[in-house]
Structure 1
């Protein structure tokens, strides 16, 4: 069973807490695992703390790890940095689900990472 969510961003690189939106997409009787998948090569998803300063730190860290320019792929569409940043984070996370609720740790949140915005993206939630 799958649900597609739409996520919009305002910046080139941004991190958004999408935990509540993913939770709302779960069937009320779901038990098993939820896979949250980003079907884009310049966006990513991860699990970490959703504290606002940490979200900014993640953005800063990705910016500092990967230079904005100077990559061979930039000759095609000038977004190699976005591809590299999303590769570091990854396209999916798997989270346990119990009685229709995400079974995560107290401080864990599902974070959407936009690396080539601003854009509107798809985020898929599949429960097995």
Structure 2
């Protein structure tokens, strides 16, 4: 695994952790590909295979997508989540966004070895896909 893939994995894990820890978030919503991979991994684990699900699989984390922006140090993240019943979706998305930005900036700052300096540009889009 090269440095860029490791950094992307760290960014995805940080974003997912920050989003999941936000009050009102029920869970991160996996995409269709993760659902299919989860089914295959579930079958493999029931049959005794060593293929167990992991936090980052093939450079992906369920419910979070990350890509480099057009400029250096720019990242764009998309978070898909379900909101707990009794919480307003707007309030939850407003709470998730700054938490994810802060967590990702912390990871990127550690990776670059910079203290203070120019903070990386992190753009986060939050989509509510369900209310549970």
For the criterion TM > 0.5, the same-fold answer is no
TM-score, normalising length: structure 1: 0.27
TM-score, normalising length: structure 2: 0.27
The structure with the largest alpha-carbon Rg is 2
Q: Higher RCO, 1 or 2 (CA under 8 Å, sep at least 6)?
A: 1
Greater per-residue strand proportion: 1
